[in-house]
Amino acid sequence: VAAVQVRKAVAGKAGPHYPAPPAIVEAVRAAFGSSPEQGLAVERELFADLAVDEVSRRLVGLFLIHQDSRRWYEDLESAAGPEVERVAVLGAGVMGAGIAHLAASGGLEVILRDVAPQALEAGMSRIGKQLHEQVEKGRLDAGDAGKILSRVTAVTDAGRLAHAQLVIEAVVEEMGLKKKVLAEAAGHAGPAIFASNTSALSVTEMSAALPDAGRLAGLHFFNPVDRMPLVEVVAPPSASPQTVGLLLRLARRLGKVPIRVKDSPGFLVNRVLSSYLAEAVAMVEEGFSIASLDRRMCDFGMPAGPLELLDQIGLDVAGKVTDTLRSAFPGRVPPGRLLAGMLAAGRTGRKGKLGFYRWGAGKPVPDQEGVAALAAGGSPGGQAREGHDMAGEPVAASDLPRLVYPMIAEAVRCLEEGVVSRPQEVDLA
C-alpha cells in the first residue's frame, strides 16, 4: 500500500518524461521483504538501463553545456573592472522589486527608486513577503532575512542615485518612458554603468538618452526573478566590452545563468517564445479549450501551459512584447485581437487575479466562458461565436506541431542571424 501511494506522489511531481524517480521507488520497494543483495541487484539493473537511455543522454548533454557556459565569456568578465557593490533599481513594480530582492540577497546595497511613494511601499511589501515565505519554508534564517531587507533603501529622490555603481532600469515596457528615466538617472549617477531590464525593446535606441552610450547594455531578468535562472545580457554595438562583461559577471554572482545576446527585437527567449504564445492565443480565439490546450502542452513536457504562462508573465507585458515582434517581423507572429480585448476588459493575468484563468488562494481555474465571449467580440457573459461551444474544443496530439514548430523555426532564425553565436546558447536558454 505504501509503495502505491509513493508511486502516485512521485509520478505527480516527476511527470511522464523522467523515468528515474519511479525507478528509485521500485529499487527501494524491491529491498523490502528481501535481502539487501536482492535490492541492490534490482537497482543495478534499473540503473544500467537508465544510464544509456535518451533522457539520460539529453540531461547529461545539458549539464555539460551548463558547465561549459561558465567559460564562454571569461575574457569579457575578466576585463570588466572592480566588482559592483552598490546598485540602484529604477521602478518598484513586480520586476523592480524582484531585482532589488535578488541583488540584496546577493549581498549588494540597493537603492530602490520610484517617483510614487505608494509604488515604493508596495515594492518593499512585496520584498518583505518574499523573504517571509523563504523563512516559513526553512530556506532562510529570520535574522538573515532581516539583514537582506535592511540592504534595500526605498527613495523617491533621484539625488540618492549619486553613489550607485550600477543603475538598473525596470520601468514599464515603453520606449519613451525608459529613455526619460535613464536620462534623468544619468544626471545624478555620475560614472555608473546602466542596464535596462527591457523584454524586447531596442537597447541601442535607449542609449541615445545617455551621454555615453558605451555605459548601457540590457540585463533582462525573467519573472519571477528569484526563481528563473536565465538572464539575457543584451550587447548593443555601442556598449563597451567592460559594460557587457560587468553585467555577465554580476548575473553569475547573483546565481543566474547569463547568455549574451545581440540587440535584436525580442532578443532570444521572448522571440522564440512569442511565436508559441501567440499561436496558443490564436487557437483560443478559434474556440479551443484553455484547459485542454494547457494540459496538452504539459503532457508534451512544458512545466506550464502557454496560457497559464501568459497569465504569469502578465498580459500587458506579453501584449507589448508581441506588438514589438509583430512590427519587427511582419507575418511571423499570428495576428489576433483577443489579447487586446482581454486587456481592454481589465484582464492582466495573475497579478490582477483574472486573465485566461481566475486566480485566487487555491489552484487557478480556467475562465473559458468569459474568454470565449471576448473572443466572440462581446463581453464576459455574452455569446460564443457560431460553431464553437463555450466549453471549448479539445486539443488533439495532431495540433501540437502548430504550437511547437514555430518555436523551432524561430530558434533556427535567431542562430542564423547571430542573435547568439552558439547552438549551445540556444539550448541552454
In whole numbers, what is the pLDDT of the chain averaged over residues?
92
pLDDT-based confidence at 381, cuts 50/70/90? very low
Q: Catalytic annotation on 163?
A: no
The three-state DSSP-derived secondary structure of 312-355 is: HHCHHHHHHHHHHHHHHCCCCCCCCCHHHHHHHCCCCEHHHCEC
Q: Which three cell numbers, joined as nine digits, stand for 248?
A: 555577465
**Residue located via cell numbers 565569456:** 73
pLDDT score at 384: 43
pTM value is 0.88
- Examine the pLDDT at 425 and tell me if it is beyond 90: yes
**Segment among 16-20, 251-255, 386-390 with least mean pLDDT:** 386-390
pLDDT score at 379: 47
Task: Give whole-number Cα distances, 152 to 99, 107, 212, in Å.
Answer: 11, 10, 28
Candidates 101, 163, 188, 220; catalytic one:
220
pLDDT-based confidence at 385, cuts 50/70/90? very low
The SS3 call for residue 116 is coil
- Examine the pLDDT at 54 and tell me if it is beyond 60: yes
pLDDT score at 389: 52
pLDDT score at 120: 97
Quote the CA–CA distance of 98 and 227 in Å, as a whole number: 10
Tens of pLDDT, residues 136-177? 999 999 999 999 999 999 999 999 999 999 999 999 999 999
Transcribe 163-221 into DSSP letters: T-SEEEE---S-HHHHHHHHHHHHTTSTT-EEEE--SSS-HHHHGGGSS-GGGEEEEEE
The SS3 call for residue 357 is strand
Instruction: Count Cα neighbours of 93 within 13 Å in the Cβ-side half-sphere.
Output: 13
Tens of pLDDT, residues 103-128? 999 999 999 999 999 999 999 999 99
Mean pLDDT on 74-85: 93
Share of the chain above pLDDT 90, in %: 82
